[in-house]
Structure 1
Amino acid sequence: MRNLQNKDTGSYWCAVEIEGVWIDKTEQLHLTVQSAPDVSVVSSSVSGHEGGNVSVQCFYSSGYQNKLKQWCRYKDQRCYTVGRTDTSQSSSVQISDNVRRRSFTVLMTGLRLSDSGWFFCSAGDQQTSVQLTVTVPDVSLEDPHVPVSVTEPKPAVVTTEAFERNGRVAALSSTTPNNESTVNSEEQHNEHHGHLEVWISVVVLLLLMVAVVLSAIILRNKLGQY
Structure 2
Amino acid sequence: MAAHLIVLLLFSVLKGVHSITTVSKVSVKAGKSISIPCLYESQYINHVKYLCEGRIWESCRYAVKTNKPDPSGKYLISDDKKQNIFTVTINKLTDKNTDYWCVVEIDNGPDHGKYFQLSVISGTPSLYVDHQRITGYIGESITIRCHHSNSGEMKWCRLGRNCVTGSSGSIDGTTATVYMKNPNIFTVTMSGLRTKDSGWYWCAEGDIQIPVYLTVTEKPITTTTTAASTPTTATGSSTTHTVAGSGTITTVEENKEHRASFDPKILIIPLSVLTLIVIVMLFICFLMRHKQNKAESSATAMAVTKVTYSEIRPKKKHSPKGDREAAEVTYSTLAEMF
TM range (shorter): 0.3 to 0.5
Structure number with the higher helix fraction is 1
TM-score normalised according to structure 1 size = 0.45
TM-score normalised according to structure 2 size = 0.31
**Which one has a bigger Cα radius of gyration?**
1
Structure number with the higher strand fraction is 2
Instruction: Compare relative contact order (CA 8 Å, sep 6+) and give the higher one, 1 or 2.
Output: 1
